[in-house]
Amino acid sequence: MWTESDNKLTATFKFANFIQAFTFMTEVAFHAEQQGHHPDWSNVYNTVEIRLSTHDAGDIVTDKDRQLAKIIDKVYEKFN
Amino acid sequence: MWTESDNKLTATFKFANFIQAFTFMTEVAFHAEQQGHHPDWSNVYNTVEIRLSTHDAGDIVTDKDRQLAKIIDKVYEKFN
Amino acid sequence: MWTESDNKLTATFKFANFIQAFTFMTEVAFHAEQQGHHPDWSNVYNTVEIRLSTHDAGDIVTDKDRQLAKIIDKVYEKFN
Amino acid sequence: MWTESDNKLTATFKFANFIQAFTFMTEVAFHAEQQGHHPDWSNVYNTVEIRLSTHDAGDIVTDKDRQLAKIIDKVYEKFN
């Protein structure tokens, strides 16, 4: 689901509607804050696109990104 | 899961942790706002207790409450 | 605004409507998770009642509660 | 604050931190759902960029966008 290119991990998540998409974002937001690692993400209606890279490491993909990606996948499972 | 007594529908929902409980509440909040019908609810850590009755009908259980209860059950399914 | 009795800090917060009340709860939820200290709280429409005590200390009021109360007051300032 | 170009209303909002930014997004999300009109928005840490246009009108700026922009400005006032 995640692809790595341009020193970013990127994935797109689809939902039944906006409420589902934003509920997903809310849970991800709590985890991001807990990890002290925040996504670059966009939302349009039922679609959420997430880009992960580590600013402090010079905007490359690090284990912090891979860990957050795993957490996000776990959150997304609920919505399938 | 819901019990009716004292002119209220009441149910208690358990979650893995606070983040899950609050994410559940967020989705329910959107639906409540959409229905124009809001719960009387409490949260302590991983537990959410919801009480439903219809104020405008004299604080009794109406179809509005049964409908919101069904929506809430559907939201909760995700978290099991 | 907070009163201490029965080994609890308690306060009631009023808002213009449910959306405001739930937005306030969302910000408090992030801070609670960050503090690792969670409120016992209830919401009905535009009203949020919060009770704080420290379970690990035997359900009494501790500095953890006073600190969270201060953070909550700061969040509430926005909504006045 | 909003600029109109490429048939979009665009604005960028800055916050003290991620929690503030996401709390703002939560309130906007409720209003968007209520209006049945959803933003194209991105967030990175303390910054939220919002793009508004009306898909059903052929992706141009309509009164729906101007109305949502006004609501968003009102939400943002809290965070200044």
Per-position DSSP letters for D47-79, written without gaps between them:
EEEEEE-BGGGTSB--HHHHHHHHHHHHHHHTT
What six digits make up the tokens of D55? 């898909």
Mean pLDDT of B24-49: 98
pLDDT per residue as tens digits for the range A6-63: 999 999 999 999 999 999 999 999 999 999 999 999 999 999 999 999 999 999 999 9
Strands (E), A1-80: 3-5, 8-14, 40-44, 47-52
Contact at CB, A19 and D42, closer than 8 angstroms = no
pLDDT band for C1, please (50, 70, 90 cuts): confident
pLDDT per residue as tens digits for the range D27-78: 999 999 999 999 999 999 999 999 999 999 999 999 999 999 999 999 999 9
From chain B, pick out residues whose CB is under 8 angstroms from the CB of D26. 26
CB contact A41 to D (< 8 Å):
yes
Residue C46, pLDDT > 90, answer yes
Residue C80, pLDDT > 90, answer no
Domains of chain B: 3-77 (3.30.1360.20)
What six digits make up the tokens of B61? 């259980």
CB contact B19 to D (< 8 Å):
no
CB contact C73 to A (< 8 Å):
no
Give the helix/strand (H/E) hosting C12.
strand C8-14
Asked if this assembly's ipTM is beyond 0.90, the reply is yes
Contact at CB, C22 and D30, closer than 8 angstroms = yes
Helix (H, G, I), strand (E, B) or coil at A7: coil
Contact at CB, B29 and C42, closer than 8 angstroms = no
The pLDDT assigned to B80 comes to 83
- Give me the phi and psi of B15, to 5 degrees please: -135, 170
- H helices present in B1-80, as ranges: 18-35, 63-77
What six digits make up the tokens of B15? 């979650």
Give CA–CA dist D42/A69, Å, rounded.
18
In Å, what is the CA distance from A75 to each residue of A23, A62, A80, C11, D18? 10, 20, 10, 33, 19
